[in-house]
Structure 1
Amino acid sequence: MAWSRAHEAARQKIIELLHREERPFEDMSDGAVAERRALPFLDWCQFYMPHYFAAPFARFHGQMAEAVGEAAMPTFVCAFRGAGKSVLLALARPLYRTLRREVPYWIYGAGVQQLAAQNMDYVRIELEHNPRIAADYPGLRCEGTETDWQVEQPRERNAAGQWALRATKFEAFGIGMSPRGRRFGQYRPTEFVGDDLEDAQLARNPRREQQLWDWLMDEVVPALEPDVWSFTVLGTMFGPDCMLERARQKSKERDPAGRPLAKYFRQPAQDAEGRSVWPERFSDDGLARIRSMIGLRNWLRNYALTADDPDKPFQPQWFSDRYESLPKGLDVVAFLDPAISQAPTGCPRALVAIGCDRDGVRYVLDAWIERGSPEQMMDSLFRYRRSWEPRLIGIEQNGGYALIKPLLQTWERSKGWRLPVRYVDHHENKDSRIQRLAPEMESGRWRWPARPSAGVRVLEQQFLSYPDGFVDGPDAAAGCTEFLPSAWGGGRRPGAAEHRSIKRRDYAGVL
């Protein structure tokens, strides 16, 4: 594998700097060497890696280092640009723990394997070229390729008199590459370090974000040594659907024993009073200038570390009004966007049910948003009819009418009862109909279930990602509101006829 030009230039610069400016310590007595090797992590970094850690550490650096390394706990570190998270946790910490013979097998992950290998290479540069490390840790030998190498240390007994770990392996993986089944002697991978896993382009694609999350949870975690594995992912905020926002939500969930399902560490550039958390490197005036130069949107993502995107029509805080139980007497409607595409990457079908109280407040009841078969779509329609008894089910007929009507008639005959369906031919622009919901949500006129179904979670994500990604769910939600009273005044739509749901026990009488 050939290094990128940028990495080749960076590694040559580091090697030249090490050879030009770093020298072994003057006191090379056994006691002095042992004392330096036993230093706490941050002190060790400043002794052995002053070419990286010239500025004094801030308080948050110690907190960030302490946040990682918990056994069997996926840990996500979200820190502002320039905070030193990659140098500290993807370079110095693996180097420190390797030289202390604590980890037999590291795996690195990034968007592509080359990036992971380059991040890993910075550790190898220190092992092969740092004069202070070479003097205090003699006999180091690195062998292997850019993507798969190991370092061997001389035989040595630990404090208990046992032979200490002698060799440590490093291996690089890109998203989609499976580390399952990997072994280094008797060891499975012990620690995972993920960095450069996503970028702005990936974060704009909900499907790729899901693939990234699935890779971490379905491929990386199961490949690690059970019970003792450590998992550290580094990054910044890219938006409401990004990896770190998912991790933040996951950290609120608990297993049956009450332990969080993930750990989330967040460090913005400023404290609660708007002051720099690392004034030795970022002055208050300097941060103010950065904010002015890059704009509010980039500031929120890279320095304030919030998923809020001021350019998006729908904001995360608008989805915070949650209900535990529903009020009585809701006016319930549903709407189906049948999406006739059969392609695996085509638009999903979307069915949404919404209720409205006497004040016009909307209650999102359920959503089914999948690339399901026509039969699954019909099954969902009849299930919604049984569960929510909507007075009306709107079905968009633009393009999908020829498919849906005969299929629905067949199902109605087989079930022995009809659905209160109204076919709708939209002439207004889809974006206009969806964006009309924004002021209602911003004003707190929408309520969301405290324990949302998978479909409702997808609906929320589609709203937050809008106008990027798929919009079938928001489109169906907008279709529901066309059959509901005004969100601002309550009551039935002016001039609208009053509809009553036909229950199955009443159907025979109607016939």
Structure 2
Amino acid sequence: MATVADIKKAIADWNDHCKRVRSLTPITMSVAKESPSERDRRIRRLQSNYAAFCEYYFPHYLTLRDKVTGEALRVIHNAPFHNAAAMKVKNTPNLKAVFKWPRGHAKSTHFDIFLPLWLMFQPKRLINFMVVVGKSEDSANRLLADIQAELEYNQRIISDFGEQKSAGTWTEGEFKTQSVNKFLAVGRGQSPRGLRDRESRPDYIVIDDLDDDELCRNEKRVKDLTDWVKEALFGALDVGRGRFIMVGNLISKCSVLANLCNTKGVHVSEIKAIDRNGNPVWAEKWTKEEAQEYADFVGFRAWNKEMMHNPINDGSIFRHDWIRFKRLPKLEKYEMLVCYTDPSFKSTSANDYKASRLWGKIGTELHLIDCYVRQDTVSGMVRWLYDLYERTRDRVAISFFMEANFMQDIILDEFAAEGNLRGYQLPLLPDKRKKPEKIQRIEAVSPLWERGFVFYNEALKDSPDMQVGIEQTLALERGSRVHDDAPDADEGAIWYLQRNTRQSTFKPVLVPRPRPKNMW
């Protein structure tokens, strides 16, 4: 619960924000000179065009300014996924949806401010009663504060749609406009049963970043809160009529957001911060270099959790602190080198990952020396293996293995075709073991990580192949659907290394057994 000092500061900050809204939304000279018919045409165009609506009425949100002088530098336009989401919400009166977007991609701005106002100011008003739900009552009130600031101080909205100020305030958790729109804030777990304004019930409910790390560590609390969302909160609508929206990023697989995404009938919009080539999906906001700098600073785990909807939690088999890196010796120092390949059954790059992992054994340690973990074609994987062989064949001998079940005609044809181009055939051996179930085999070697015998090549620490392999390893658990090609290949390589490089640390010494005195 916020203290009196916290509330005073929040009110002071809000008043400053309102002054900023008023000063940054002036009526332009061209608009001031419009005839009534020109004004009507402009408003109709903005009502029909979400991107234009946002740019005209909210320049203070969509203008990049110099942090020192406050000078406007350029307009940041909506990304295509913002506009697509707006059309989905507008065109679906009875909508159950999750918008799973990364941090910094304007989830709250659009769904708590821009979108509800766009719907409210349509020629035929599309929402009448909005409920915003936050982690707590205080956070929900602060979310409500932003939309009230726009309604009461945005000069462009007031000029086009009239004075909006009416009864109530965000500090009390609810307010109304003169056009009889109602806005209400609800904290996580509060009872929303029977919410109504006379005969009206909520018709736009937005749940904003409900999950947090503490909640997600408690499976029962997540279940209870999911039940609250589906029962009490959803039940506040008029028998499901209206727009019921949750926004957030996937910080844990045990979360309310994850549960709603897996619910039948829920529309899910998933946006990741970057595409497969590392390019930002909101290119006008930040560059590829800025995205990489961000990822480098926060680290692989935080980047995947906050920006890519790929939370890497300590699973039931491996833990993050078991992943150790070190500078590796020259290849000639290893007792044995094994490259094990799990090619997956499908050939196209859009399907499962293909994994090739080069491991070496030196003393009691096992080293991951090089790796390939990609959604690639079989021919791409084959080329990588041949390249590895050519880089190393004059220095060391590597045993190349692949599970016998995978050595089908199509895969062998790819190896043969590449070999014909290069003038030799890769010495590929089938793994003919009668193996236990996959997770059981991987669990059996996991103590080697826990006890500190496994090290990864420090030189490849930041490579995509290494990081994807780590991601697959840490996410592995029974019953999960995560890709497991890398840890499966690791198990195969380690099995052959352990089998063929056994050490004798105890050497028995035969000495005469002492005889008791006076025995004979």
Q: TM-score range by the shorter chain?
A: 0.5 to 0.7
State whether residues 142 and 149 of structure 1, in contact with CA within 8 Å, keep that contact through their aligned partners in structure 2: no
What displacement does 1:5 show?
6.4
| Pairing of 1:129-278 with structure 2 (within 5 A) | 129-146=153-170, 147-153=172-178, 166-250=179-263, 253=264, 261-278=265-282
1:109 aligns with 2:133: yes
* Matched position secondary structure for 1:170: strand
Distance of aligned partners of 1:142 and 1:240 in 2 relative to their CA distance in 1, 3 Å threshold: same
Whichever residue aligns with residue 11 of structure 1, its letter is W
Taking the aligned partners of 2:475 and 2:313, their CA distance within structure 1 comes to 19
Taking the aligned partners of 2:475 and 2:276, their CA distance within structure 1 comes to 26
What displacement does 1:228 show?
2.5
Whichever residue aligns with residue 17 of structure 1, its letter is R
State whether residues 168 and 175 of structure 2, in contact with CA within 8 Å, keep that contact through their aligned partners in structure 1: yes
What displacement does 1:20 show?
2.7
* 1:6-39 Cα shifts (integer Å, max 9, x gaps): 6445423322222333212423532233233321
Deviates more, 1:111-120 or 1:72-81: 72-81
Distance of aligned partners of 1:293 and 1:224 in 2 relative to their CA distance in 1, 3 Å threshold: same
What displacement does 1:118 show?
1.0
Taking the aligned partners of 1:442 and 1:286, their CA distance within structure 2 comes to 28
* Matched position secondary structure for 1:68: helix
1:14 aligns with 2:17: yes
Counterpart pick for 2:99 among 68, 77, 81: 77
Query: Unpaired runs of 5+ in structure 2?
Result: 64-75, 320-433, 441-445, 452-469, 483-494, 497-520
| Pairing of 1:262-341 with structure 2 (within 5 A) | 262-309=266-313, 313=317
What displacement does 1:64 show?
2.8
TM-score (ref. length: structure 2): 0.56
State whether residues 90 and 193 of structure 1, in contact with CA within 8 Å, keep that contact through their aligned partners in structure 2: yes
Counterpart pick for 1:35 among 23, 41, 44: 41
Whichever residue aligns with residue 22 of structure 2, its letter is H
Q: Which residue of 2 aligns with 1:124?
A: 148
Taking the aligned partners of 2:233 and 2:305, their CA distance within structure 1 comes to 26
Higher helix share: 2
Taking the aligned partners of 1:12 and 1:144, their CA distance within structure 2 comes to 16
Q: Percent identity?
A: 23
Taking the aligned partners of 1:93 and 1:244, their CA distance within structure 2 comes to 20
Whichever residue aligns with residue 230 of structure 2, its letter is M
Counterpart pick for 1:49 among 45, 55, 58: 58
Taking the aligned partners of 1:286 and 1:443, their CA distance within structure 2 comes to 27
* 1:458-478 Cα shifts (integer Å, max 9, x gaps): xx79x9xxxxxxxxxxxxxxx
State whether residues 317 and 476 of structure 2, in contact with CA within 8 Å, keep that contact through their aligned partners in structure 1: no
Q: Which residue of 1 aligns with 2:461?
A: none
Taking the aligned partners of 1:114 and 1:206, their CA distance within structure 2 comes to 25
TM-score (ref. length: structure 1): 0.57
Which protein is bigger by CA-based radius of gyration? 2
RMSD: 3.8
Aligned residues: 327
